[in-house]
Amino acid sequence: MTIRAAIIASVAPVLLLLSQGSPAAAQQQHKIDLLESIEQCNGTDRIPARARVAACTALINSGDAKPEALALAYNNRGNAYAAAAEYDRAISDFDRAIELASGYVKPMNNRGVAYLKKGAYEDAVKSFDEAIRLDPGYGSAFANRAEAHLKLSQYDRAALDFNEAIRLEPNLTWARSGRCWTRAVIGDLQAGLDDCDRAIQSGSNDAATYDSRALIHLKMGQLAAAIDDYSSALRLAPNLASALYGRGLARLRQGDSAGGDRDVSAAKLIDIKIADAFIRYGVQ
């Protein structure tokens, strides 16, 4: 058996059971085609979203999948649609997966993520509620619900959900980064700093973590450290309005009027309401 055949054989039983009874040659070709679709539909983000959608659609339309296998195909296609920013189609597929397998928790969580990315934050919370009710040990669902609470400015609820996510999955680095931001906003600064430091030490190299730590330094009055972290965030995400605005405030407080005004003006061009956001964060 080749490596490819071994991989296909390992995933095929998980996804579907093929029907029997067609003539041998046609059945063999049908099986090969279906197994290739399985491989693509089960594929990771390295496979283009459109290819994953096409493969999952082929499985869904094949007539060879049992309900639990169809649920997996709809869930996978929903993930592919979400990767392509087609959130309504993704949500429709996640709904179908849930209908086919009511105990299948992943599409509930994934539907919440699609709602979150779409900007329907209350619907996202409801989906994460369902996922957590079905599986109270699902750390990522708690972390995702925390992100939805953040979007709704429900910081205390977000903090509780991040706490539970990290308790369940201590190595969930992005949840620790999210809790750092939450703690920065609510003023639990030293604990937030510890979270960001641990996230960065664990290999997190995203703009959000540096932006969160920078806010903590800014609120602590550690202006040089804040500027360093905001600059790190901007190297990773040059148009991050919060990092530009925060760095501008730090530079102004250091007496760098020209640099501060330049950063603040650039931030407002990206997000006209950024000053209001910083007031909510406790910085004026």
- Are the C-beta atoms of residues 113 and 79 closer than 8 Å to each other? no
Per-residue pLDDT of the chain (284 residues), as tens digits, is 322 333 233 344 444 433 444 444 444 444 445 566 677 788 766 788 888 999 889 888 888 778 888 899 999 999 999 999 999 999 999 999 999 998 899 999 999 999 999 999 999 999 999 999 999 999 999 999 999 999 999 999 999 999 999 999 999 999 999 999 999 999 999 999 999 999 999 988 899 999 999 999 999 999 999 999 999 999 999 999 999 999 999 999 999 999 999 999 999 999 999 999 999 999 98
Closest CA to 36 of 61, 59, 18, 20: 59
Cα–Cα distance measured from residue 52 to residue 73, given in angstroms and rounded to the nearest whole number: 10
Cα–Cα distance measured from residue 107 to residue 98, given in angstroms and rounded to the nearest whole number: 6
Q: What domains are defined for the chain?
A: 1-85 (no CATH), 105-170 (1.25.40.10), 174-284 (1.25.40.10)
Cα–Cα distance measured from residue 129 to residue 110, given in angstroms and rounded to the nearest whole number: 12
- Are the C-beta atoms of residues 199 and 182 closer than 8 Å to each other? no
